[in-house]
Amino acid sequence: MSHDMEADYVIVGAGSAGCAMAYRLSEDGTRSVLVLEHGGSDAGPFIQMPAALSYPMNMSLYDWGYRTDPEPHLGGRRLACPRGKVIGGSSSINGMVYVRGHARDFDHWAEQGAAGWSFAEVLPYFKRMEDWHPGGPFPDAGPGDPRWRGKGGPLHVTRGPRRNPLYRAFVEAGAAAGYERTDDYNGEKQEGFGPMEQTVWKGRRWSAANAYLRPALRRPNCDLLRCFARRVVIEEGRAVGVEVSRGGRIFTVRARREVILAASAINSPKLLLLSGIGPAAELAEAGIAPLVDRPGVGRNLQDHLELYIQQACTQPITLYKHWNLLGKALAGAQWLFFKSGLGASNQFESAGFIRSRAGVEYPDIQFHFLPFAVRYDGKAAAEGHGFQAHVGPMRSPSRGRVKLRSADPREAPSILFNYMSHEQDWIDFRRCIRATREIFAQKPFDPFRGPEISPGADVRSDDELDAFVREHAESAYHPCGTCRMGARDDPMAVVDPECRVIGVERLRVADSSIFPRITNGNLNAPSIMVGEKASDHILGRTPLPPENLRPWINPRWRESDR
């Protein structure tokens, strides 16, 4: 062991939150920051070209390759749980969809003991991180309200060109079914159908690495160390560094001020457990001496599940016409030389957020629309032209856990989401399927609608829909909640509202693992926001002043689902 590296702040993980903290903690030049990252470079078209999104999450070079334990309510299937093992973390392998979450999500956080994290208090951080470019909206949709959005921040947020007529048909069909429209689901009004936003800028993936880490690394007080983090080193109840391995050596990187874990909802609890922080009996069973008994470490695991509802298209206008060697080569060449064309978008350009039933105050179902019938991993394209909606419930009551298999830091943890373990999950998924079918059956799709590909027109009854869900539901790759933030006297809380690990000094966790409950939509935006806000807590700064903008809540929510 040799103590040959140190910094004021040592951040474990160069992902969404870690990159944001590296940028903010090093900003004034007075403190040194060292980021530890096991993954390698994010250079190259597989990551930087938005349309290539299905490749990096299926490459062991960029992905930790985690899989769940057999999920008992999904027929014992083991589902993929990709996490970014690369500069930028999961922001370098995700779908680049930008969703803040609903205002009520963050109010719920505050109600659950995360004081200071209500929507009014997190909105200034969302605005600080954004450089919002509303782009050319649909002709009859406004550009959104700039009072709700940020300009000049590190993270570019854009909208796709929406040239394919199917994008408009989806929004029009949602309105024809009686649902709301929204010109900015990240603004005042999430509920409704409208354009989808993406972290793409000038045709490139605008990951946390591009937005935050690269500018930070140009400063003399911020550096990056490629290594494998084994555990947090704790002496007399205080985190003093991180034990790492690199090049066959094991040594400790010392932290003069604090250690900050930002290693994902899977790896952050894993590191706490390896460090002796977690459920004492579980630690002892794994052969680790318990230092701090925190029963909440690794618990409260949440995710979004989704299905692909696929419809054949009667006109040859979908992305299927490019799904061949020549089409891919042309799109790749156009992107490579001009950063334009099909390669310059993630192709998720229309969205919808609806409520599943009367009595639900704010949206609990999300749609991603794609003018192509293909799996998210790109492995199974329908034979012929088609389109699809990715649909799933936003607030499943199911909870899972992450735990160690052994004391070996190199061994992947045991992951069980316990998907579909509540009856409400099944009710919600049936509603998702039937609502999608209703939307696809509307008049705006008449010129395009062929037979249903999946689930198939003959899958109608509750039992048949349940069987389809059991066999085909997939993770939307939004794990969170495993180091839950809450009041210091909450026995299941892992960190307090300033992201400090309860029971250990000079140790924080700041990433999606601290979410008390999963937010509406994709998690990259709220994960970056956590990094932004945690930075002010770490630096001892007064938080940005709250902004009391009121979100739109459907006045009919008690009586109607639309």
pLDDT digits (tens, 9 = 90+) for 105-126: 999 999 999 999 999 999 999 9
Say if 518 falls within a structural domain.
Answer: yes
What are 41-96's pLDDT values in tens digits? 999 899 999 999 989 988 999 999 999 999 999 999 999 999 999 999 999 999 99
pTM for the full predicted model: 0.97
Give yes or no for residue 137 having a pLDDT over 70. no
What is the spatial distance between Cα 498 and Cα 509, in angstroms, rounded to a whole number? 9
Indicate if the pLDDT at residue 452 is higher than 90.
Answer: yes
- Banded model confidence at residue 324, pLDDT cuts 50, 70, 90: confident
CA 12 to chain centre: 18
The DSSP letter of residue 367 is: E
Which one, of 321, 323, 335, lies nearest residue 49 by Cα?
A: 335
Which of the two residues, 14 and 1, has the higher pLDDT score?
14
| Domain annotation covers residue 359 | yes
- 136 confidence band (pLDDT: 50, 70, 90): low
Query: pLDDT for 23-34, tens place per residue?
Result: 999 999 999 999
Is 465 labelled a binding residue? no
Instruction: State pLDDT tens for residues 188-239.
Output: 999 999 999 999 999 999 999 999 999 999 999 999 999 999 999 999 999 9
What average pLDDT does this structure show over 526-546? 98
pLDDT at 144: 80
Pairing mode of beta strands 249-261, 386-393: unpaired
pLDDT confidence tier of residue 325, bands split at 50, 70 and 90: confident
From the candidates 390, 472, 478, 537, give the one annotated as an active-site residue. Answer: 478
Cα 357 to chain center, whole Å?
Answer: 25
What would the pLDDT profile of 260-302 be if each residue is shown by its tens digit?
Answer: 999 999 999 999 999 999 999 999 999 999 999 999 999 999 9
Q: Are 68 and 81 in contact (CB under 8 A)?
A: yes
Q: Cβ distance 328 to 343 under 8 Å?
A: no
User: Is 21 labelled a binding residue?
Assistant: yes
Radius of gyration of the chain (CA): 23
Give domain status of residue 402, yes or no. Answer: no
Could you tell me the CA-to-CA distances from 155 to 44, 187, 207, 451 in Å, in that order? 20, 16, 8, 41
Q: H or E stretch including 432? A: helix 423-440
**pLDDT tens string 337-376:** 999 999 999 999 999 999 999 999 999 999 999 999 987 5
Same domain, 379 and 510: no
Q: Across-strand partners of 80?
A: 67
User: Is residue 132 situated within a structural domain?
Assistant: no
| pLDDT score of 58 | 86
The number of C-alpha atoms within 13 Å of 494 and in the hemisphere containing its C-beta is 31
158 is in an annotated binding site: no
Contact 294, 283 (CB under 8 A): no
Same domain assignment for residues 258 and 217: yes
Provide the pLDDT for residue 383.
77
Do 426 and 354 reside in the same domain of the chain?
Answer: yes
When pLDDT is cut at 50, 70 and 90, the band that residue 2 belongs to is: very low
CATH code for the domain in which residue 250 is found: 3.50.50.60
450 & 386 share domain: yes
Residues 202 and 187 in one domain: no
Taking the CB of residue 459, how many other CB atoms lie within 10 A of it? 14
Average pLDDT, integer, range 470-491: 98
Regarding whether 97 and 21 lie in a shared domain, the answer is yes
pLDDT band at 10 (very low <50, low <70, confident <90, very high): very high
Q: Give domain status of residue 85, yes or no.
A: yes
- 299, part of any domain: no
432 assigned binding-site residue = no
Residue 173 lies in a domain: yes
20 labelled binding-site residue: yes
Burial of 107 (0-12, 13-18, 19+ CB in 10 A): middle
CATH of the domain at 430: 3.30.410.40
Contact between 85 and 433 under an 8 Å Cβ cutoff? The reply is: no
Q: Is 16 annotated as a binding residue?
A: yes
pLDDT at 247 over 60: yes
Same domain, 381 and 458: yes
- Tell me: do 453 and 343 sit in the same domain: yes
Q: HEC string of 488-513?
A: CCCCCCCECCCCEECCCECEEECCHH
Q: Is 464 annotated as a binding residue?
A: no
Residues linked to residue 159 through DSSP beta bridges, in sequence order: 197
Number of domains in the chain: 2
Residues 321 and 256 in one domain: no
Is the per-residue pLDDT at 526 higher than 90? yes
Does the annotation flag 22 for ligand binding? yes
Q: Is 478 annotated as catalytic?
A: yes
- Using DSSP bridges, classify how beta strands 350-354 and 365-370 pair: parallel, antiparallel or unpaired: antiparallel
Q: Note the pLDDT of residue 47.
A: 97
pLDDT bracket for residue 380 (50, 70, 90): low
Residue 55: its H or E element: none
For 371-418, the DSSP string reads SS-B-TTS--B-SS-EEEEEEEES-----BEEE-SSS-TTSPPEEE--
Same domain, 191 and 230: no
| Complete DSSP assignment for 335-363 | HHHHS-SGGGS-S--EEEEE-SSTT--S-
Split at pLDDT 50, 70, 90, the class of 141 is: low
Q: Which class for 380: exposed (0-12), middle (13-18), buried (19 or more C-beta within 10 A)?
A: exposed
Residues 256-263 have a mean pLDDT of: 98
pLDDT for the residue numbered 4: 62
Q: Is residue 36 in some structural domain?
A: yes
By residue range, what is the domain housing residue 178?
161-195+305-393+420-472
268 and 182 together in one domain: no
Tell me, yes or no, whether 389 and 492 share the same domain. Answer: no
On average, the pLDDT of the chain sits at 95
